[in-house]
Amino acid sequence: MEIIFPDGSKREYAAGVTGAEVAASLSGRLAKEAVAVRVGEQLLDLSAPLTDGAAVQFITANEPEGLEVLRHSASHIMAQAVLRLFPGAKLAIGPAIENGFYYDFDLERPLTPEDLTAIQAEMDKIIKENYPIERFEMSKAEALKYFQEKGEIYKVELVEGLEDGSISFYRQGEFVDLCRGPHLPSTGYLKAYKLMSIAGAYWRGDSSKKMLQRIYGTAFAKKSDLEAYLHLLEEAAKRDHRKLGKELDLFSVNEDVGGGLVLWHPKGARIRHEIESFWREEHYKNGYDLVYTPHIGRGQLWETSGHLGFYRENMYSAMEVDGQEYFVKPMNCPFHLAIYKSKGRSYRELPFRWAELGTVYRYEKSGVLHGLMRVRGFTQDDAHIICRPDQMPEEIDRVLQFCLFMLRSFGFNEFKVYLATRPEGSVGDDARWQAATEALRASVERAKLSYEVDEGGGAFYGPKIDIKIKDALGREWQCSTIQFDFNEPERFGLTYKGSDGADHQPYMIHRALLGSLERFFGVLIEHYEGAFPLWLAPVQAVVLPVLQDNIEYARQVLDELRAAGIRAELDQRNEKIGYRIREAQLQKIPYMVIVGEKEAVAGTVAVRSRREGDLGTWERVDLVARLRQEIAEKKI
């Protein structure tokens, strides 16, 4: 029989040859590194016999598909270890996920961190025993009987949901599991892994069903990759915005107030003020008008917008006002459309660019709330551009360039761009979708940005551009969206008088540059590890008198800094100067202005930078000039 390789070359093999045998015939290294084989669109175990004329591609654990195979097998090895240590455990599901794997178990007692250590030790034994991982099949009836006899109630439920016919299983030593595969050739292939944590998880994600115990782990092709990932996690833990938010006194979430509702403390509020001030100034410069809209609206408004039809489960309960239902707003757009409809519009007036820092409220389950990243009340940097079809390409170019400028201003220079196209079940005619999609594509290409097409990833009401930023650790964060909407202009009956005297429906573009202020602030905290650039820092300089006798001069220096618009504080505690310098460094204050008897006599200051250390003695006027220039230039 003939096998075809990716470069088009062909070789003949004996009938029934397996992927493993073909890999071994090509290279000893490939035989060691391959974990699966792709035949056409199907990913198969290396032990699977190949057919005549098969076009094959070998997959290693260094590739995303191969890494998924490795992690899926790791979840089976972990389940085998758990059953050895806890023979009464019931198995649920155990998939590979981004950055690792997990398995859900029904156990008689809660697991402890010590149990994780024991499970990993047992996994090491299973890996050393190097069991072949073998695929076999049963009929549905046989599978049901097998699991019923074992008392595996969750597996029985899974099998009951499958269609009649052959069902695939995998065996490694004494362990057997229901699975589509593919898997590693043997347990010995797993070299670099670590069990990470224990969490609760409802069976099938249904809170009305039993809470199971989920063990998370991670696995990589090489030990060096695992070590790099664990180091990344350590760095991420240091930068965790929840930890830094508390240490730097920036924000809090209080259960008495309500989960997912953020309290901005004075220092965090000062940073927010600087972000908002910059945002407003730049919007005015870029031809936007700012609007303000209410926090609640009549039920009829949300009926017209369609939110009560497709978004009701994310909206908070209605309140009654004058015998009518009102809802707290989950989005700002219906209010902006109401402004548009407040009077007749002419083609000469378009485009309108209306922006709002609008606070919205959306229901999130308590289990997914996460600091500033996932909340129930947040402020969107929202804007809606209403334009004629002929204005669309220029408007997209403008908003895309504006978006990149804003992100770069905050220190983000690496982007991942996605063009999301029409999904099934969307609204609007094909011509408009095609024109809008091509306008988005052309704009991204004119900006010379590399991008990926997210087929079918658009909203039901229009295509979009999504921009993800990379932070200091290389993690991606979704912030910016440029989104067409063919639905709401039609639902609200938006029109303008064209040059022909007839009514026409305008195009509408939703856009968010930073996303929500809460989430963006969380990203900023982690990106800078709380050490904000001078223009954003809540306290830009702290004046430190060496002795209590120097306080009067220190206050004079403080007044000069504040008069120059610099956010400065005085630390006059009766503590040693070294202690107060360390405290300022821990609070990540950019500049420490130290004044002793020598400086008081000379009228100078000793300056220490958070980044550069000791900067020596400065004239006060020169220090003020340096700080003002650095703030004005928004140096990162």
Query: Which residue numbers are catalytic?
Result: 333, 362, 380, 382, 384, 464, 510
Q: How far apart are CA 591 and CA 593, in angstroms?
A: 6
CB-based burial label for 388 (10 Å; 0-12, 13-18, 19+): middle
> Quick check: helix, strand or coil at residue 575?
coil
In angstroms, the first-to-last Cα distance of the chain is 63
- Residue 537, CA distances (Å) to 273, 421, 636 in order: 11, 40, 11
Closest CA to 428 of 507, 334, 335, 512: 507
Q: At what angle do helices 517-528 and 266-285 cross, to 10 degrees?
A: 110
**Cβ-proximal residues to 279 (8 Å cutoff; 6+ apart), any chain:** 357, 381, 406, 513, 514
Please tell me what DSSP assigns to residue 210: P
The separation between CA 565 and the C-alpha centre of its own chain, rounded to angstroms, equals 36
Q: At what angle do helices 430-446 and 392-409 cross, to 10 degrees?
A: 40
Structural contact between residues 104 and 96, judged by C-beta atoms closer than 8 angstroms: no
Q: How far apart are CA 564 and CA 395, in angstroms?
A: 39
Closest CA to 568 of 603, 529, 602, 605: 605
The 3-class secondary structure across 495-513, one letter per residue, is: CEECCCCCEECCEEEEEEE
> Quick check: helix, strand or coil at residue 154?
helix
- Residue 317, CA distances (Å) to 262, 330, 569 in order: 20, 12, 45
Q: How far apart are CA 320 and CA 326, in angstroms?
A: 6
Token code pair at residue 12: 């003949």
Closest CA to 507 of 458, 460, 462: 462
Look at the chain and count its residues. Answer: 636
Query: Do β-strands 324-328 and 352-361 pair in parallel, antiparallel, or remain unpaired?
Result: unpaired
∠ CA 325-328-331, nearest 5°, is 120
Q: How far apart are CA 82 and CA 91, in angstroms?
A: 10
Q: How far apart are CA 173 and CA 522, in angstroms?
A: 47
E strands within 64-190? 90-91, 96-97, 100-106, 134-139, 166-172, 175-178
∠ CA 155-156-161, nearest 5°, is 95
∠ CA 629-632-634, nearest 5°, is 105
Please tell me what DSSP assigns to residue 614: E
